[in-house]
Amino acid sequence: MKTEVSTDRKAAVELLRKGEIVALPTETVYGLAADALNAQAVAKIFEAKERPRFDPLIVHLPNQDWLERVADLSTQDRQLVLQLIGRFWPGPFTLVLPKKPIVPDIVTAGLETVAVRISAHPVFSEIIRAFDAPLAAPSANRFGRVSPTVARHVLAELDGRIPLIVDAGPTTHGIESTIVTIRDGKIDILRRGPVTREDLSKFGKIEIVVPGEKVSAPGQLPAHYAPKTPLRLIENAKSFVPAENAGLLAWNPLKIDKRFVAIRNLSEQQDLREAAANLFRYLRELDAIDDVDLIVAEQVPDRGLGAAIMDRLRRAAHRDEPDTPARNL
Ligand code: TXA
Ligand code: MG
């Protein structure tokens, strides 16, 4: 199959209507979309990504009217859910709620819950409104790889497997949406993201669901977001002497330095938003340099958006066995 890269939004809608899969920009990362109510179309996402069927997908809605067509709002949680979506939708915020029967089992991997969000990206939102029904869309990477934040990276992942990539330049946030669920009136954060713990704490008691303890999102497995090159997380590169050819993913200001084959600075101004937006792109760039045998990443402040960045870096550094590339979804 030939993969087109274009800005043709009409073509995207037509393909989706025919039950095809299309890569689309969102404000977080590029997604691989299919008609969420068409099980056969959704199956193509799993095939193209080589994603295990036990891993459920996020359902993106055209507008809020769709919410109660795909999900149940319990009387108990209703007010909190409405407050949260009133504040964070459209945007990088995903809610896991009890599902309605209209959502095919393949989308939720047989779970009784469905993950839903409304994207704020103008191109995504134009396409989904024209399509006028929910779209299932995981990140547009193959299983075991870093999420794509530019069209070129989607092509590197899925060339020949999908008919179309809609190109709208780099994504704004650069990391995937925050995923939460409501339990006994409390907000459980299943995946950290652009909507931070601090943002959410105004709405209720927060709990971070520690991966491994209660893995309710398979994307929360400890080994996740890993490049092919081994990655090591360090405090500061200033006093670090790499034993092998290393590329540095820097947080602290550092000019050209002979200790490192290549350096990518997440944000010269040490701005966490900019750092998040650059994270996956720089990881990919360092990963693609042949001479780099090790990626060394400096830690960023573990608060606000920094906590979401650290979460990705910790998982990228995690390996089950020394020589096996860690897997992600
Ligand atoms: O920003 C994003 O969320 C991007 C864009 C494309 O929207 N999408 C994304 O999808 O990151 P994906 O599939 O790569 O990650 C979705 C995560 C997975 O870890 C999955 O396990 C979890 O959401 N998930 C989906 N449905 C769930 C459910 N019912 N319960 C718990 N976790 C769920
Ligand atoms: Mg993903």
Give the tens place of pLDDT for each residue, 193-221.
999 999 999 999 999 986 554 445 555 55
323 alpha carbon – ligand 1 mean position (Å): 27
d(CA 327, CA 116): 24
The secondary element (H helix, E strand) that includes residue 288 is helix 272-288
| Three-class DSSP category at 95 | strand
d(CA 268, CA 288): 22
Mean pLDDT of the 44-63 span: 95
Q: Please check whether residue 36 is in contact with residue 178, taking contact to mean a CB–CB distance below 8 angstroms.
A: no
Which atom of ligand 1 has the smallest separation from the CA of 329?
Answer: 14
165 CB burial (10 A radius; 0-12, 13-18, 19+): buried
pTM: 0.92
**CB of 189 sitting under 6 A from ligand 1:** no
| The amino acid at 172 | T
- Is it the case that residue 8 has pLDDT exceeding 50? yes
What pLDDT, on the 0 to 100 scale, is given for residue 82?
Answer: 97
Q: What is the secondary structure of 171-239 as a DSSP string?
A: -SS-SPPEEEEEETTEEEEEE--SS-HHHHGGGS-EEE--TTTS--SGGGSSS-S--SS-EEEES-GGG
**CB of 27 sitting under 6 A from ligand 1:** no
